[in-house]
Amino acid sequence: MMRQILLVPAMLALILAFATASSHPVLADPTIPTVDHPLADPALEARARALMREIRCVVCQSQSIDESNADIATNLRNIVREQLAAGKSAATIRDYLMARYGDFVLLKPPFKPETALLWIGPFALAAICLAAGLAALHINGTIASGSTAPDLSRSERERLNRLLAAGCSEKPQLRQRGQS
């Protein structure tokens, strides 16, 4: 009975020991802001969230700061919120972050000469595919409807006329079994 009573606090102590031994600073100190401070104005907060989804968490793989739990992501989130609340525009905030982290920090790459190919590429590709496809369909279609059939030569035309005049008198050759 005694052992069971002691077991639970011992477990809890063990867990706490593990928990505090992690590499994150303990959150008790309010001057160490690894906690979010959402904005009071819901519309502004919504704008902040939309902007956060475009900013890369620089220590994660392909995550935005909106999704990540990393300390630096929380820090960046609070910075975005502060600057929006101070009236700065989204473009200004993006520039602020790019000045510090480079183009790398935006998940939606800015449109610059270096990224022109990136942005235009898919649409150019789609246009080429579509053009090629439609051209192929058109060619295919015109062949199917016979409008590009070459004209008959004179001798071929005469033979055609003879055949048509003869009607059913010329029996078509039956294919024998075994022949291909």
Partner 1 sequence: MIAEFGQYALILAFTLSLAQSVLPMIGAQRGIRPWMAFARPGAFAQLGFVGFAFLALVACFVRSDFSVAAVYHYSHSQQPLIYKIAATWGNHEGSLLLWVLILAVFGALVALFGENLPPRLKARALSVQGMISFAFLAFMLFTSNPFDRLSPVPFEGEELNPLLQDPGLALHPPMLYLGYVGFSMTFSFAVAALIEGRVDSAWARWVRPWTLLAWTTLTAGIFLGAHWAYYELGWGGWWTWDPVENASFMPWLIGTALLHCQTVVEKRDALKAWTILLAIIAFGFSLLGTFLVRSGVITSVHAFAQDPARGLFILVILAAALGGSFALFAWRAPSLNPGGLFAPISRESALVLNNLFLAAGTGAVLIGTLYPLALSVITGGSVSVGAPWYIATFVPLMVPMVLLMAIGPLLGWKRGDLPGALQRLAVAGALALLAAGYTFSRETGGSVLAPLGVALGVWLFLGTLVEWTERVKLFRAKPRENWNRARHLPRAAYGMTFAHLGLAIAIVGMTGSSAWKSESVKAMQFGDTVTMGDFTYRFDGIAAVKGVNYLAERATLSVTRDGKPYTVLHPERRRYAVQAMSTSEAAIESSGRGDIYAVIGDRAGPRSWTVRIYHQPLVPWIWLGGLLMALGGVVSLSDRRYRVGVPNRLPIGQVTGA
Partner 2 sequence: MSLRRLLYALPILLLALFAWLAWRGLAPDRDPAALASALIGKPVPQFELPPLDPAAEKLATKDLAGHVTVINFFASWCAPCKAEHPLLFQIGKDYGVAVYGIALQDQTADTRRYIREMGSPYTKIGLDQNGRVAIDFGVAGVPETFVLDRNGVVRYRLSQPLSAGLIAGEIDPLLRRLAE
**Contact residues for partner 1, defined by CB under 8 A:** 8, 11-12, 14-15, 18-19, 22, 24, 26-28, 35-36, 46, 53-54, 56, 61-64, 67, 69, 102-109, 114-115, 117-119, 121-123, 125-126, 129-130, 132-133, 136-138, 140-141, 143-145, 175, 177, 180
Greatest distance between any 2 Cα atoms in the chain:
116
Shortest Cβ distance from residue 111 to partner 1 (Å)?
Answer: 11
Shortest Cβ distance from residue 177 to partner 2 (Å)?
Answer: 39
Which two tokens mark 128? Answer: 């080429």
Kindly tell me which residue out of 45, 47, 72, 88 binds partner 2, with binding defined by CB under 8 A: 72
Report CA-CA distances (Å) from 139 to 114, 135, 145, 147, 152: 38, 6, 10, 10, 21
Please report whether residue 32 would count as binding partner 2 according to CB under 8 A.
yes
Please report whether residue 162 would count as binding partner 2 according to CB under 8 A.
no
**How far out from the chain centre does Cα 136 lie?**
29
Please report whether residue 20 would count as binding partner 2 according to CB under 8 A.
no
Burial class (CB in 10 A: 0-12, 13-18, 19+), 176: exposed
Convert residues 75-94 into a mask of x (bound to partner 2 by CB under 8 A) and - (unbound).
xx--x---------------
User: What DSSP line would sit under 133-167, residue for residue?
Assistant: HHHHHHHHHHHHTTTTPPPPPHHHHHHHHHHHHHG
